[in-house]
Amino acid sequence: MPASTSATGSSRLSTSVVARYAIGSLGTGGFATLPGLVLVFYMTDTLGVAAWAAGLVVTVAKIWDVLIDPLIGGLSDRSLLHSGSRRRLMIVGGIALPIFFLLTFAVPAGVAPAAAGAWVVIAFILASTSFSLFQVPYIALPAELSDHYDQRTRLLTTRVAVLSGAILLFGAGGPILRKIGDPYTGYLVMALVAGLVIGAGMLIASTVAPKGMPYPDAHGIPFSEGYREGIAALRRSAPFRALLGTFLLQALATGLMLAAANYVAVWVMHSDDALTFLFVALIGPAILFSPVWNAISRRIGKERAYVWATVIFTIAAATLTIAIWAPGAWMYASVAAAGAAYAGMQALPMAMLPDVISHDARLHGEARAGVFGGVWTAGETTGMALGAAALAAVLSITGYVQTVAGHVVVQPGSAVVGIAVGFSVVPAALAALSLLTLSRYRLRREDIDGPGIPQEALA
């Protein structure tokens, strides 16, 4: 495979390419948001599944993701070699995901909790597999769309602006849709509408995948060797290890907050409507600050801007600890500050990943964007899955009482405190820890746009 498959070189990306690529975040944002927000709650408060079992269901599905993502990365690189594009996998994922997403929330009323849990885990595994078929090549595309440091930032900050809008759309709209009819009907309607929007976003984004010349004589990466290639990428690229470790910790922090938001609204703030307001407070600033982080990164570099975003998020999450003793509307201000920082924590590392990929290609003579994308997606999935699992563990330890639709329960004080801690203290600590791994990232603008690669970048 050639060392670079960039479709546009150093030239400015067209508005059409940037827009179509960003629309893919309707799919990625929707699938990341709704299951993380409502799946555990759906199982514990509608299907009657115990909190520990609900957490296990999500964890099993995400472990499956982690296992297949590196394999799909290798498959994506093979597709590029033999067809000249990564588009085929993206289209398959965009068509299949809405079907399995609908099935995830289609458990009929009256099904026993154990059977309901089995239903959800099978359907969600199939939905997650479909998502990976799209997500892995989607993550690989920026390295091939441009080899310019700032153009990649422009591409990814635009994507995160759409991602933030998608999170607001699904995070606020999903809970509204699930109020239609009884809880079982509501979740089904929510899944149908959301699945169609997710699939449409994915299919539109697939049109941006560059079409190049196939290499029918090239062998590429055997499907079974995706793990070996992924491990090799981690071993040889210190910047990749640092960036992935940072993003994994932050995915764990944000995944935990996302999973806890529904519980915070109901049991800490005592308002079902508070969930919508929390999302507006989080995502409104995220949309506004996406171009701000682009401007900041142009001035001081992506790496320093990423540090500032992480510090702001850490402080904002830490202030939410006060909710243990005094919950109230003031929490929206802290969430808004976290939202402004969240935009940078999403856009900047994703804009840095293509730099890592091209850096590796310059050193080793082969572009393995699919492999890097597969490992990256596996790491992100691990963080988000562990976030939901960590919340489920906290709920179980603190005595959270599950129920089925139509039954009213009173939660013990210990469970309410556990929810508040899971929304504040733990995410803040994880974000602070991620600053240590980020400090080991050495690539800078001159290493990407400049003529040479300094030795310290390889350490």
Q: What is the pLDDT of residues 196-216, one digit of tens each?
A: 999 999 999 999 988 765 544
The domain of 410 spans 15-207+225-458
**Cβ atoms 414, 210 nearer than 8 A:** no
Which CATH number fits the domain that encloses residue 322? Answer: 1.20.1250.20
Assigned domain for 216 exists: no
What residue has token string 């400090």? Answer: 439
Assigned domain for 133 exists: yes
Assigned domain for 212 exists: no
**Low-confidence residues of the chain: pLDDT under 70:** 1-11, 212-227, 365-367, 385, 402-408, 448-459
**CA separation, residue 241 to residues 11, 116, 349 (Å):** 29, 39, 12
**Cβ atoms 385, 255 nearer than 8 A:** yes
The pLDDT of residue 457 = 38
Structure tokens at 172: 């606020």
Assigned domain for 334 exists: yes
**What is d(CA 356, CA 359) in angstroms, rounded to the nearest whole number?**
5
Assigned domain for 146 exists: yes
The pLDDT of residue 407 = 62
DSSP 97-113: HHHHHHHHT-PPTT--H
The pLDDT of residue 226 = 58
The pLDDT of residue 430 = 95
Assigned domain for 158 exists: yes
Phi, psi of 400 (to 5 degrees): -60, 135
Assigned domain for 220 exists: no
Which residue(s) pair with 404 in the sheet?
47
* Chain-centre distance for alpha carbon 24: 13
The total of structural domains in the chain comes to 1
**Cβ atoms 93, 202 nearer than 8 A:** yes
In angstroms and rounded to an integer, the radius of gyration of the C-alpha atoms of the chain is 21
The pLDDT of residue 91 = 94
The pLDDT of residue 403 = 61
Assigned domain for 10 exists: no
Task: Please say whether the dihedral angle defined by the alpha carbons of residues 241, 245, 251 and 252, taken in this order, is positive or negative.
Answer: positive
